[in-house]
Amino acid sequence: MIHTGDAIEPRHADAHLLVVDKPAGLLAVPGRGADKQDCLALRVQARWPGARVVHRLDQATSGLMLFALGADLQRRLGRLFEQRQVDKRYVAVVAGCVADDRGRIELPIAADWPNRPLRRTDAEGGQPALTRWRVLSRDLARHRSRLELHPETGRTHQLRVHLQAVGHPILGDALYAPPAVQALAPRLLLHASELAFTHPQTGQALHVVSPPPF
C-alpha cells in the first residue's frame, strides 16, 4: 500500500522545489517487488504530481531530501550536486569517544561484490571519498559521541563505511556495525540535518535545517 502525501509537511516549498523529511525505514524511491513500492518519492508525488527526485538517502537514514518541480529544475539541481555546490550536513551518534574535536576521513570506497549491497574501503580500486567531521558532544558514561558530518563526495553508504573504517561505527547500523553496536539503538542513528545551496531559479541562498529525532 502506498500512503498519500497528505501528511507531508515540507521543510521548504516554493514554485520550483521542495525539501522534505524522509522517515527512517522508508525507501527514498520504489524498490523491486510489490512490497517495496511505498516510498517517499511516491508519497510526495501523490501531493505534488510534478515532483522529481534530485538525490537519495539510504532507507535506514532519516532527514532532508530535495525534490524538483519539473524536469528542467531536476537537471539544474542535479548539476549542483555533481559540481559539489550543495552543502550537506548530517548528524550521527557513533560508538566510542572520538579523541579529536574535528578531522577528515579520506578513504576510497568500492562495491563489496561478494557481499552486495555492502561497500568497503579500497585503496586500489575505490572511488575517491572525503568526509569531514566534528564532535558535537561526547557521552563518557555510555561511551559514544555525537558528530556533525560533512560529506564532500556522495558515494553510496559513504558515511557508514567511513565511520566503521576508523573504528567508530554508527549506532544501530545493521550493515556495518558489529552486533553489540547494532543493538544500542532501534534504528540507524544517522540524520540528514542540513542542505544549503543557491536556488537555481531565484539565485537566493537557501539553507534548510531538520533537527535530528534522536
Computed on alpha carbons and rounded to an integer, the radius of gyration of the chain in Å comes to 17
Q: Which of 21, 58, 100, 101 is catalytic?
A: 58
100 is catalytic: no
Alpha helices in the chain (DSSP H): 40-47, 71-82, 158-165, 179-182
Provide CB contacts within 8 A for 124, sequence distance 6+. none
> How many Cα neighbours within 13 Å face the side chain of 118?
15
| Cα 196 to Cα 8, 85, 88, 209, distances in angstroms | 21, 9, 7, 9
> Do the beta carbons of residue 107 and residue 129 sit within 8 Å?
yes
Q: What angle do CA 21, 211, 1 make, to 5 degrees?
A: 25
Other residues' Cβ atoms within 10 Å of the Cβ of residue 112: 15
> Do the beta carbons of residue 72 and residue 15 sit within 8 Å?
no
Helix (H) or strand (E) holding 12: strand 12-13
Residues taking part in catalysis: 58
